[in-house]
Chain A
Amino acid sequence: MEPLEIAERIRERFPEEVVAVSEFRGQVSVTIRKGRVVEICRWLHDEPELRFDFLKDLCGVDYLGRKPVRFEVVYTLYSMRHRHMIRLKAEVGEDDPSIDSVVPVWIGAGWHERECYDMYGIVFNGHPDLRRILMPEDWEGHPLRKDYPEKGPEREWQGFREVLDKAEKLKEFSWKE
């Protein structure tokens, strides 16, 4: 199915949920509200004519000051049988950065959602194991947010301090003439 047709199908089925449909060089994005995201994903996965069984990618984007709704969670979907692709973008507001987890639909979303939580602070409701994944567990802040400084936080991470202290202590075992 052509990507624009798929977008039309989604709009037909969930008229209140679809905010916008945009196309860029043949790739179509459907922006949706976050409320019924699992229901939409489940339908996309199960509908025989669509069969989006392969979650290629899930990531967050921060549009700080550029769009009225700050975050977007982007799902890139593909169908192994019908060989078509669509991009779904769920809007997540800054005041309540949470969205339902799609792990029940695609189990492979688990780590992607953990990463998205780690990097943007978006909470995925119903995720079986929502912990930080790339950053240390006691890290403060969410690095990929646009208001997070590129050079890192002002205050040094506690864990790094501990490593340095330990290295200092181990010096007494170093080679002495």
Chain B
Amino acid sequence: MEGVDRPLETRELNVSMGPQHPSTHGVLRLVLELDGETVVKCTPYVGYLHRGVEKLAEGMTYLQALPLTDRLDYISSMSNNVGYCLAVERLFGIEAPDRAKFIRTMVCEMTRISSHIIWIATHALDLGAMTVFLYSFREREWLLDLFEKLCGARLTVSYPRIGGVRNDVSQEFLDSLYEFTEQFPEKIEEYETLIDQNRIWLGRTKGIGVISAEEAINWGLSGPVLRGSGVDYDVRKRFPYDAYDRVEFDVPIGKNGDVYDRYRCRMEELRQSNRIIRQCIERMPRGPVMAPDAAKFTLPPKERVLADMESLIHHFVLITKGPMAAPEGEMYVATEVPKGELGFYIVSDGTGKPYRMRVRAPSFVHASLLPRLCEGSLVADVVANIGTIDIVLGECDR
């Protein structure tokens, strides 16, 4: 036998992972340079889902740009809408009425639950625990049905409006949501029983993708990815918007900054969101759901447009020119969406269209962290690292 004594030759291998790969959660492409099982270099390529939302918004009125924000992070569209509406409201200097604030807070937390459910489902699936996926989509379906009951759409809701929300919530809706909150804590325990003490799960998540608190801040991370490293930063607490200053909730914080701690943070957030929803339902005040001066910014009801001249003119002006009362100025407003801090930086030149609308997408920042997490780790952990930062490429690429 010839060549048996020759030492084994190894060489670095380039692997292109994605854009179509089940565990990249969308169209993310990673080019991995491998030395055996170890990742030497990781280069992410994004932009496959770039639709030019920022450019499109510059040509639209403030009202027209709202549905664009649904399509950023399409699994938590409600929070995106609220973030956009808040930014425009602050720019115009108006405020939503109390009832609308509570409704928004409630639906934002519903979105957080449905988004975290998708995250735990796919993350566990990536790491080899399939049952969680089947269990958690049951609850997500329930929430989506509730969204449908609320506004007629399940995913791209466009329910919040500048100055309030589109329609009031019915008592029937609140009752069924309350029933959901009564049952949901048990369901969280159900997911946890499946993986929390699972040796494979612990082995795949503990000590993987560690990032320290200082480094996490320097990278500009936000949301559970930052809190998993032990930084107490939550936009809902630091810059309270809507009704977040009138409900009680805790901000779960991790310690080690690894995949497991981020998992624990998100699971705890599910419980806190559940708690916020309950409080919102219990404390929901009565009253209008649109700001009194919102007529300047939002379309009048259809039946009035067809019956009364004023409203018709109003409708026409809003559609063709956009809100006339826009001041000149610039505004950066951040909200805490399930993925992290979503910021809208709007520059207004006094016309009905935004001069510049910048979307500070948490997924974009988190995706840039991937080389830092993956380089030096095993190739199997790349999947865990993609899952733990919870990115949605629609938001990353905008």
- Total contacts A-B at CB 8 Å: 88
> Which among A9-17, A33-41, A105-113, A162-170 touches the partner chain?
A105-113
| CB-CB contacts below 8 Å: A83-137 with B | 83, 87, 106-112, 115, 119, 133-136
What residues on B are CB-neighbors of A24 within 8 Å?
Answer: 329-331
Bound complex: CA A94 to CA B20 (Å): 39
A-contact 0/1 string along B337-379, CB 8 Å cutoff? 0000101010101000001101010001101100000000000
Q: Which one of B233, B331, B397 lies within 8 Å of A25 (CB-CB)?
A: B331
CB pair B217 A80 closer than 8 Å: yes
Q: In the complex the two chains form, is B368's CB within 8 Å of A110's CB?
A: yes
Decide: B341 and A56 in contact? CB cutoff 8 A.
Answer: yes
Q: Within the complex, which residue of A61, A62, A111, A135 is in contact with B368, where a contact is CB–CB below 8 Å?
A: A111
Q: Are B55 and A53 in contact (CB under 8 A)?
A: no
Chain A residues within 8 Å of B50, by CB? 134-135
Contacts A59-B358, A106-B220, A108-B221 given; indicate if A76 touches B330 (C-beta within 8 A): no
The yes or no answer to B166 lying at the interface (CB within 8 A) is: no
Give the Cβ gap from B65 to chain A, nearest Cβ, in Å.
13
Q: Interface residues of A toward B: which range? A: 35 or more
Q: Is the interface of B mostly helix, strand, loop or mixed?
A: mixed
New A-B contacts (18) at CB < 8 Å, excluding given A56-B360, A111-B365, A136-B47 = A25-B90, A25-B331, A27-B330, A27-B331, A27-B332, A53-B217, A54-B217, A54-B220, A55-B220, A61-B347, A66-B349, A108-B368, A109-B220, A133-B47, A134-B398, A143-B52, A143-B55, A144-B55
- Can you name 11 A-B residue pairings with CB atoms under 8 Å? A25-B91, A56-B332, A61-B356, A76-B343, A83-B238, A107-B218, A112-B365, A115-B364, A133-B46, A144-B55, A150-B59
- Which residues of B pack against A, CB within 8 Å? 46-47, 50, 52, 54-56, 58-59, 90-91, 93, 217-221, 231, 233, 238, 329-332, 334, 341, 343, 345, 347, 349, 355-356, 358, 360, 364-365, 367-368, 397-398
